[in-house]
Amino acid sequence: MLELGCGSGRDTALLTTAGFHVIALDQSTEALATARARAPLAEFYCQDIRAPFPSAARNLGVVLASLSLHYFEWIETLRLVRRIAETLDPGGILVCCVNAVDDHSYGASGHPEIEPNYFSVDGQAKRFFDESALDQLFADWTILSREHHVIDRYAAPKAVWETIVERR
């Protein structure tokens, strides 16, 4: 499986312990150092997820993108999701978690808007998704699950959409 934006390897460690071979990408060398220590069996690459994926990331069954698809302009987000589809075998699964439009603790309001629901939050661009945006983003996929949640992993509650889609 391919993990986009693995960060410090929390999910990577869980997945490798469960027996998955994980190809993990992140652009932070510091985060990757922690991830390597947590999940030594994973294959790590230091890169922006918009760059071409490693050659080993082809004909995959699963791609995980947990809070990594929200940093880009809409056109780039669409392009990235198309590239993810090309990485998956037909019937392959994308599991993703994205910021929800009601995630006010983490920037969904009170910041300069770059595009609709895309804000400059303390100098960092962040997108926030509603159901309509998810419908557009995954129009060429089969939506298996889409749920709105509030997670308590961070200092303040975070509103997200957890979505599982299948490549047609």
Nearest to 63 by CA among 30, 33, 9, 25: 25
Residue 11 has which token pair? 């999910």
Which amino acid, 36? R
**Residue 102 region, left (φ>0) first, then alpha (ψ -120 to 50), else beta?**
alpha
> pLDDT tens digit string along 94-105?
999 999 999 999
Average pLDDT estimate for 144-151: 97
CATH of 2-167, one of 3.40.50.720, 3.40.50.150, 3.30.450.20, 3.40.710.10: 3.40.50.150
Which amino acid, 143? I
Distances (CA, A) of 4 to 25, 53, 68, 149, 151: 5, 10, 7, 21, 20
Which is it for strands 158-167 and 88-99: parallel, antiparallel or unpaired?
antiparallel
> In this structure, what is the dihedral angle of CA atoms 130, 132, 137, 143, given to the nearest 10 degrees?
90
DSSP 54: P
Provide the percentage of residues in the chain whose pLDDT is more than 70: 100
> pLDDT tens digit string along 34-43?
999 999 999 9
CA–CA distance, 9 with 151 (Å, rounded to integer): 18
Cβ neighbors of 168 (< 8 A, separation 6 or more) are 90, 140, 141, 142
Could you state, in order of their start, the residue ranges of all structural domains in the chain? 2-167
Q: What is the pLDDT of residue 149?
A: 96
Q: What is the residue-averaged pLDDT of the chain?
A: 97
